[in-house]
Homo-oligomer: A and B are copies of this chain.
Amino acid sequence: MKEHSLDRLQTRINEMKNPTCLGLDPRPDVVPGFLFDESGDLEEGLYQFGKRLIDATADLLPAVKPQFAYYEACGIPGLLAVQRTMSYAREKGMLVIADAKRGDIGSTSEAYAKAFLGETNMAGEKFSAFPADVVTVQPYTGSDGVKPFLDTAVAHEKGLFLLCRTSNPSAKDLQDLQLTSGSAVVEELAMLIRDWGQPYVTPTYDLSALGAVVGATYPAEAAHLRKLMPQTFFLVPGYGAQGAGADDAVAGFRNDNSGCVVNASRSIAMAYKKFNMPVEDFAEAARLEVVEMKKKLNAALARR
């Protein structure tokens, strides 16, 4: 099969020697208020939040991950802002991971897949609603909820990350339930992800178009899940504000230091506090934090 977007993500990580993803979480307590004052406009303020972080870091970072929840909570202005932000990031050469955690069954999953990875054909027109390179997807409905995303991804040389081990404390509620097979739910899902993704492994990096979300807050688990999914790209959330450090974040990388991208959101956007800089310099502070995070991750990878 042809190259997919997770191949391109690995290529960019290698070129930039940086496996970091810029998470854009425009929470009310994270977006600097002056961005709204300057523009007098919700959409423009939200767009400027992402644009300025992208401008400050695009030469250092392979990818950006807008969190759709925060944009959607702002209604149509928020969704217009995320469309513009995603388009701007792609102009700057970044890969775009739409963190939308969508998922349903059959043809409904197909509609979501087309919205983010493909094209909708409606009213005699073909268009892409929220074009991304990769989208995050929910696993609970099983294979026929996931397959439309995978089919659409493969048809358009894109990829997806299926939730496997989330980074939150109550991840255990369902994911750690012990099965009569001897595995936990999360391990069973890992084996399904491996099997479902196997036909879509390319020789480029021996990675599948079907990736997995594996939180940095469970490093021992990440190392174990890597063994179950050797050809699966991991999106690793939880670095920084959620409590995981560099050594935790690299636990799921493959032996050749490939196969993972580590996301940080608040720790980058709010780095001005850590560096005691004025909020007006949040983008410059973000760059300093990205440089520091890159060093920390590479050092952690070197000492494994």
B174 and A189 contacting across the interface, CB-CB below 8 Å: yes
With A140-B174, A173-B142 as given contacts, are A127 and B75 in contact (CB-CB < 8 Å)?
A: yes
Whether A141 and B120, one on each chain, are in contact in the complex, defined by CB atoms closer than 8 angstroms, is no
- Is A279 part of the contact surface with B, judged by Cβ < 8 Å? no
Q: State A29–B29 Cα separation when bound (angstroms).
A: 43
A276 at the interface (CB under 8 A from B): no
**A192 contacts B173, C-beta separation under 8 Å:** yes
Contacting residues, chain B, for A173 (C-beta < 8 A): 142-143, 192
Contact A172 B142 (CB under 8 A): yes
Q: How far is the CB of A277 from chain B (nearest CB, A)?
A: 22
A214 shortest CB reach to chain B, Å = 13
Q: Which residues of B are found within 8 Å of A144, using beta-carbon distances?
A: 168-170
Is A18 part of the contact surface with B, judged by Cβ < 8 Å?
no
The answer to whether the Cβ of A205 comes within 8 Å of any Cβ in the partner chain is: no
Q: Give the copy number.
A: 2
Hey, which chain B residues are within 8 Å of A33, CB to CB? Answer: 123-124
- Digitize A171-203: 1 where CB-to-B-CB distance is under 8 Å, 0 elsewhere: 111110111110001001100100000000000
> Can you name 9 extra interface pairs (CB under 8 A) apart from A75-B130, A143-B173, A174-B189?
A67-B108, A73-B111, A75-B127, A141-B168, A142-B173, A144-B170, A174-B188, A177-B181, A185-B185
Which residues of A come within 8 Å of B, CB atoms?
A: 25, 27-28, 31, 33, 36, 42, 45, 67, 69-70, 72-76, 78-80, 83, 101-109, 111-112, 114-115, 120-125, 127-130, 138-145, 163, 166-175, 177-181, 185, 188-189, 192
